[in-house]
């Protein structure tokens, strides 16, 4: 059990103990950073609860759990549903865009009251639970208060603080931590075809998220990172605003629009690294350790005040991004401020 999941050994041990002793709480909140495997842990727990062998990983029950065929949504109503896995006693609700819709939670309430189809229990995963608005959360409260004795609910949240206190207090909190870089690196070398250099880079910049490390397109990453290094160089050294604005143009090109958020994330991590280096941090301790030499050069032009202003501006842009501003205008604004800060 949990053999193919890496990291969070204490959490593994805790869940195993609860399952073996028949004491798995009916309402749980899996809280921890994005991409550390919270959902995979939830399905593994479902296997322990439903498989006659306690989660053998090989039988028909185990292999059907967590396998979903989710249609691409065309409109919000398409997600007013509980998606059942190939094993019909394991289901999941998902947010549509940035919203976990009240319609989905009402469906969940209905499903939660059905008797199990095949097994003697049903397990439902509420993905990105922090995306519930107040009416969704209130609809869920009813189910959390009196879950039918055969129903188990697992709320997944990377920002649990945004959940209503009334929701959090009705769940057993199970915490997940970032996975150490060395473990991710080992896993990447074993599980993907990355070279040791690429695996090391992907692991370092993943922020402890196995999912993010596995999903990273390393060539794209290096290319975009180079252009963000140039933005920093312009901001700290050359003051070349027109090259910054060209980069902004490219970032907001239609073909790059899905990667905008990731690109800003790369810029942020570089700025933080430059800051750390300017404060005397060890080269190997930074996320972008493989280009520490050029970042160290840039850090000579950085002052604490300037970098702090940059970070504030970047965070503001990331926040505004959530409320749908015009990204091109926002990026131009950020770069101009960076050059003039």
What are the backbone dihedrals phi and psi of residue 260, each rounded to the nearest 5 degrees, phi first?
Answer: -60, -50
| CB of residue 119 to Zn ion, shortest distance in Å | 11
Rg (C-alpha) for the chain, rounded Å, is: 23
| CB of residue 66 to Zn ion, shortest distance in Å | 12
Round to whole Å and give the CA distance between 6 and 246. 41
| CB of residue 47 to Zn ion, shortest distance in Å | 6
Smaller CB distance to Zn ion: residue 64 or 186?
64
| CB of residue 114 to Zn ion, shortest distance in Å | 23
Edge-to-edge order in the sheet of strand 83-84: 83-84, 90-93, 122-126, 151-157, 27-31, 172-175
Smaller CB distance to Zn ion: residue 62 or 202?
62
| CB of residue 152 to Zn ion, shortest distance in Å | 17
Which residues sit at the interface with Zn ion, rule CB under 5 A? 51, 56, 59, 62
CA 249 to each of CA 70, 239, 255: distance values in angstroms, whole numbers, following the listed order: 35, 18, 11
* β-strand pairing of 122-126 with 90-93: parallel
| Alpha helices by DSSP H, 146-289 | 165-168, 181-191, 196-205, 210-215, 218-233, 241-251, 260-278
Smaller CB distance to Zn ion: residue 56 or 336?
56
Smaller CB distance to Zn ion: residue 49 or 201?
49
| CB of residue 87 to Zn ion, shortest distance in Å | 10
Q: Name the residue with the smallest CB distance to Zn ion.
A: 51
Cβ atoms of residues 130 and 163 within 8 Å: yes
Round to whole Å and give the CA distance between 341 and 338. 5
Angle between helices 304-322 and 260-278 (to 10 degrees): 160
Smaller CB distance to Zn ion: residue 52 or 70?
52
Smaller CB distance to Zn ion: residue 2 or 310?
2
Q: Which of 132, 130, 128, 125 is nearest to 111 (CA)?
A: 125
């Amino acid at each position: 059990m949990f053999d193919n999941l890496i990291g969070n050994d204490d959490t593994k041990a805790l869940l195993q103990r609860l399952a073996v002793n028949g004491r798995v709480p009916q309402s749980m909140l899996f809280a921890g950073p994005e991409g550390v495997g919270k959902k995979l842990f939830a399905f593994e727990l479902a296997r322990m609860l439903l498989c006659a062998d306690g989660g053998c990983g090989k039988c028909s029950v185990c292999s059907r759990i967590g396998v979903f065929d989710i249609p691409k949504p065309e409109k919000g109503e398409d997600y007013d549903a509980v998606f059942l896995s190939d094993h019909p006693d394991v289901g999941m609700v998902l947010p549509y865009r940035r919203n976990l819709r009240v319609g989905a939670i009402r469906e969940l309430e209905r499903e939660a009251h059905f008797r199990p189809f095949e097994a003697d229990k049903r397990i439902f995963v509420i993905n990105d639970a922090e995306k519930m608005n107040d009416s969704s959360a209130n609809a869920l409260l009813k189910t959390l208060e009196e879950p039918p004795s055969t129903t188990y609910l697992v709320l997944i949240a990377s920002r649990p603080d945004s959940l209503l206190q009334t929701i959090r207090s009705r769940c057993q909190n199970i915490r997940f931590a970032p996975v150490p870089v060395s473990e991710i690196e080992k896993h990447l070398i074993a599980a993907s075809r990355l070279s040791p250099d690429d695996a090391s880079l992907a692991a370092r910049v993943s922020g402890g998220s196995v999912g993010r490390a596995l999903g990273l397109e390393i060539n794209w990453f290096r290319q975009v990172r180079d252009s963000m290094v140039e933005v920093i160089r312009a901001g700290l050294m050359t003051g070349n605003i027109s090259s910054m604005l060209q980069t902004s143009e490219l970032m907001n090109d239609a073909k790059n629009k899905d990667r905008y958020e990731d690109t800003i994330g790369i810029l942020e991590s570089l700025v933080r690294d430059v800051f750390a280096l300017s404060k005397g941090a060890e080269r190997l301790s930074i996320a972008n350790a493989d280009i520490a030499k050029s970042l160290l050069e840039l850090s000579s032009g950085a002052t604490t005040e300037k970098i702090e202003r940059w970070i504030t501006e970047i965070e503001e842009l990331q926040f505004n991004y959530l409320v749908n501003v015009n990204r091109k205008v926002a990026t131009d604004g950020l770069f101009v401020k960076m050059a003039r800060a």
